[in-house]
Structure 1
Amino acid sequence: MRTLTSIEQFNELAESEPVVFMFTADWCPDCRVIEPILPEIEEAHTEFTFVSVDRDEFIDLCIEKNIYGIPSFLAYTNGTEAGRFVSKDRKTKQEIENFLAALAR
């Protein structure tokens, strides 16, 4: 998974390719729980570029995009928000898979 390095990179990726941003933080226990399954999810969904966004480093972006719980997922296709899986709840592999499958419809 790539790591977001700037707001400019966020905007470029959102405009140029199907991308799923995963908002996370080092201190987040729920983020650590899903970390081991992420490579498998990425491998199963090669139609997307997956990018990790450090919530603490990009707090203004989180506020702008209404990301108040982590881990959360925000997807873009053709420069438009295609979907979001945003909540304060722990996510399961199946819930993440369902979210990604819904984007393909």
Structure 2
Amino acid sequence: MQKLMTIEEFEPLTAKGKTIFFFTADWCGDCSFIKPVMPEIVENHPDMTFVEVDRDKFIDLCGDLSIFGIPSFVAFENGSEIGRFVNKDRKTKEEIESFISTL
């Protein structure tokens, strides 16, 4: 999984293919809970690009996308948002896989 390093990278990452943005923060307990299974989720979906977004570094982007709880996931395909799994609740591997299956 790659990490969003600059805000300028965001739009190009949304423009080509399917990209899932994983919004997280180091201090977030629920994010720490799910991070160990993220490599397996990424491996299960080689047709998608996964990008980790540090909520604290990109707080304005989170506001623009209405990301008010983490961990959260927003998916884009060819420049358009196609789905989101956004709330403040802890997420399980099964819930994330279920979300991805709807895309």
Task: Quickly name the TM-score band, shorter chain normalised.
Answer: over 0.9
Structure 1 residue 17, shift from structure 2 partner: 2.5
Identity of aligned residues (%): 57
Provide the rounded CA distance (Å) in 1 between the counterparts of 2:71 and 2:51: 13
| TM-score for both structures, normalised by structure 1 | 0.96
Could you say what the CA RMSD is over the residues aligned between the two structures, in angstroms?
A: 0.6
Q: What is the match of residue 26 of structure 1?
A: 26
Structure 1 residue 101, shift from structure 2 partner: 0.4
Matched, 1:12 2:9: no
Q: What is the match of residue 42 of structure 1?
A: 42
State the one-letter code of the partner of 1:101: S
Q: Which stretches in structure 2 are left out of the alignment for 5+ residues? A: none
* 1:21-100 equivalent positions in 2, closer than 5 A: 21-100=21-100
Q: Which stretches in structure 1 are left out of the alignment for 5+ residues? A: none
| TM-score for both structures, normalised by structure 2 | 0.98
Provide the rounded CA distance (Å) in 2 between the counterparts of 1:36 and 1:62: 23
Provide the rounded CA distance (Å) in 2 between the counterparts of 1:17 and 1:77: 5
